[in-house]
Amino acid sequence: MWLEAAVPEAQAGQVNVGAKLEARFSAYPGENFTGKILAVLPETNADSRTLRVRVELPNRDGRLKPGMYAGISLGAGKATSGLLVPSEAVIRTGTRNVLLVTTGDGRYRPVDVRLGREADGKSIVLDGVAEGQQVVTSGQFLIDSEASLKGVLARLNTSSSSAADTAQAALNDTTGKIESLKGVDITLSHGPVPSLGWGPMTMSFKLARSDMASGLKTGDSVHVSFSEKNGDYVIEKLDRSAP
C-alpha cells in the first residue's frame, strides 16, 4: 500500500529514497508499521513549507484501508542519542526548529535545534540544548515566519518584572564571521557565548546603528557585544578582529 506524507522543510535532510520510517494509525493504537520511502515528489507546498513523499507500507493482512490517516516518524531502525522533549515544545517556522529556553529571570531566549525522530508526542533533540536546561513546553504557537517568531518572543519577554525592564541590558561578548549585512540587519556565524550558555551557531542580529558596520563586509571576522531588546539581539559594539 502507498502512503503519501507531508514532511516539514526543516526535516528534508532526513528524507531519502529507500529510507525507513514508522507509521502510526489511530485505528491501531500502540502499533507501529515500518515502511520505506519510494519517492520524493517534486512539488513543495509553499504555504505549509512541506514536501511530499510516497511511502510503501506492507499490508499483507489487509488491515490498512484507503483513506486512513497516519502519523510518521523518520529514521526508523536507527539508534539515535539525544535529549527528549515534548513535540509541542518545538516551534516550527518551516525553515527552523526552535525551543524557548528559560533564562531564570522571567525571560526566554530562542535556541535553534536539530531534531531526530519523533514518536508518541516526543521529539529527540540532537543538538542545540544541553541536559538540565528548562524549556517552555506549553502554550506554543503556530509560527509561519521569522517575523512572527520575533513577535511572539517580544510578547513573552514583556512578562518580566518592571525592575528588570528598566535595568540596563547586560552585554554579551563573542566573535564571529559576517555571513550577510544589509542596513541594520546582520547575520553572524559566531562562537560560544559563555554568558548565555550558547554554543556556536549562525543567527541574525540588529545593529544599534547602521554606521557601526562602515568598512565591514561579508566574510570579515568581528568581535561583538550585544544585548537582548524587545525580542531582538542588538549589537552595541562591533569591531574587526583577526580571522
Instruction: Give span(s): CATH 2.40.50.320, the chain.
Output: 170-240
Q: Under CATH, domain 170-240 is a member of which superfamily?
A: Copper binding periplasmic protein CusF (2.40.50.320)
Q: What nine digits make up the cell of 66?
A: 484507503
Q: What is the pTM assigned to this prediction?
A: 0.36
Tens place of pLDDT per residue across the chain (243 aa): 888 888 777 667 677 788 888 888 888 888 889 888 888 877 666 666 678 888 899 988 889 998 888 888 776 555 556 788 888 888 876 667 888 888 776 677 788 888 877 766 788 888 888 888 888 775 444 444 444 555 555 555 544 444 344 334 578 999 999 999 998 999 998 888 888 877 788 888 999 998 999 999 999 999 999 998 877 889 999 999 876
Instruction: Give span(s): CATH 2.40.30.170, the chain.
Output: 2-74
Q: Looking at domain 2-74, which CATH architecture does it have?
A: Beta Barrel (2.40)
Q: What nine digits make up the cell of 111?
A: 535556541
Q: Which helix (H) or strand (E) holds 224?
A: strand 221-229
> Which residues lie across from 108 on neighbouring strands?
102
Is the domain defined by 83-165 classed in CATH 2.40.420.20?
yes
pLDDT of residue 80: 56
Instruction: Give span(s): CATH 2.40.420.20, the chain.
Output: 83-165
- Sheet hosting strand 70-74, strand order edge to edge: 2-8, 50-56, 32-45, 20-25, 70-74
Instruction: Report DSSP state, residue 14.
Output: G
